[in-house]
Structure formats: C-alpha cells, structure tokens
Amino acid sequence: MKKHIIIVACLAAALSAGLVAFLLRVNFMPPEAAAQAGPVDRLFDLLLVVAAVVFALCLVGLVYSAVVFRRRRGDAADGPPWHGHVPIEVAWTIVPLVIVLFFSVYGAVVLKDITRPSGPIPELEVRVTASQWSWRFEYPEYQVASSELRLPVNRPVLLRLHATDVIHSFWVPEFRSKQDAVPGMDTILRITPNRTGEYKVECAEMCGIAHAYMLAPVRVVEPSAFEQWAREQKR
Ligand SMILES: [Cu+2]
C-alpha cells in the first residue's frame, strides 16, 4: 500500500507542477490597467495553483486505481469488503473545509482592499446609468455627461451605478473588479486606472436581446487631457 501511495504522490506532484507552470503562463485576462487589478490577479493565481493540485491528485488517483487494480483476466472473485475508513473520511472532510475557509477569508480581505477609498487624492465621482442597452456617464464635478467613460490616469474614481430597467453589470476586464447596476438602488465601485489606453465597458449580466452589444468605450488619459476634454464637453 505504501508503495502505491508514494507512486501516486510522485505522479500527482509532477502533474501539478506541469499544470501550474502552464496555467500561470496563460494570459486568461488582458493586461492590468487599474490599481485594484493586482490583488484580484494574485487571488486568481493562488486559486489556479490550489485547483491544479486538487485536480492532479484526483485524476492521478482515479487513473492509477483503474489501471493498477483492474480486474485480471479469469479473476471472478469479489474484492475485500470495506466498511468505511475513518482517517480517510476525516481527511477528505477537513482538507476541503480548510481550503474553502481559507479562500473565503482571503477573498473577503481582497474585496475589502479593492473597495476601500484609496489615499489622500479626492475621488472623481462618476454616475453610471445602465439601460437596455447602453451606458451613460455623468460627471457631477464638471457637470458633464457622456456616452464614453473618459478617466484621468492615477486618480481614484468612485463609480455610482444604477440601472433604469433590469440588472446590468459594469465590467472593464482590464480593471478586473465588477459591480452590478440594479434598478432602485445605487451600488458603488472604486477603480484607480493606472495605465493610459483604450478599453471597453462590457455588460456582464445577461440583460436581454442586445446584451452582447452593450459596450461603451473607456479612455484613460493624462489629467491635463482629461481637464481639456471635460471643458470641451461642457461647451
Ligand atoms: Cu447585459
């Protein structure tokens, strides 16, 4: 029995290492463009690593058992009767429990981290209105409204989201964090864009026939270019 456990452990370790090396090299998401993206990606990477190890252990255990303990030709005997195995049952209860509790605590810490107001710079407030099937952005500070989301780089932004009809969800993949826009209530999302460029708001909540086309351009620009744009919009 010891021999089998050692072989399974070695094979699972090798498969885990290969999977982790592969998964951490794949870019599942576009490059980060907000301060809040880093903690989300670190959480995601750790989830991938743990999932890879669990997957490898299960797969290797299953395939190894099916191959090594298969019924031989001419063997019609029943296997030995088993009536439970307390140490194994305790292990497969405690280990997943610890993993799930760890990630729920870690996830809560990351959520708290990415939703708290950041730093001494005053936040730029943007009121986001989601409707079937478009986005509208209002800047109370500048008394300006726009169908594109233009943001100054490195300034914390407080998005106040609301919806006029059904539930939508504000998501810019490069910013990572995502928040529902719900009719009848305001929800908030904090982002600090830290890379200039052009991105897209995508609705991430199935909201009807044209949901897939519910996109709006996002432009993160230098603060001076942002001020100039706001002045032009006002005119
Ligand atoms: Cu939608």
For residue 143, give the CATH number of its domain. Answer: 2.60.40.420
Contact 92, 58 (CB under 8 A): no
Domain membership of residue 75 (yes or no) is: no
Domain shared by 110 and 156, yes or no: no
Domain housing 50: 2-68+87-115
pLDDT averaged per 10 residues in sequence order, the chain, 235 residues? 91 95 90 93 94 94 93 86 90 95 96 86 93 94 92 95 96 94 94 95 95 96 94 84
Domain total in the chain: 2
Whether residue 105 sits in one domain with residue 7: yes
Residues 134 and 212 in one domain: yes
Name the pTM for this structure: 0.82
Q: Are 8 and 106 in the same domain?
A: yes
97 and 171: one domain? no
- Give me ligand 1 centre to Cα 168, in Å: 5
Q: What is the pLDDT of residues 37-85, one digit of tens each?
A: 999 999 999 999 999 999 999 999 999 999 998 888 888 888 888 888 8
CA of 172 to the centre of ligand 1 (A): 13
- Same domain for 147 and 105: no
162, 213: one domain? yes
Q: Given this model, what pLDDT does residue 99 score? A: 96
**Structural domain includes residue 51:** yes
Same domain, 33 and 94: yes
Pair 110, 40: CB distance under 8 Å: yes
Expressed in angstroms and rounded, the spacing between residue 133 Cα and the centre of ligand 1 is: 7
CA of 144 to the centre of ligand 1 (A): 25
Distance 76 CA to ligand 1 centre (A): 59
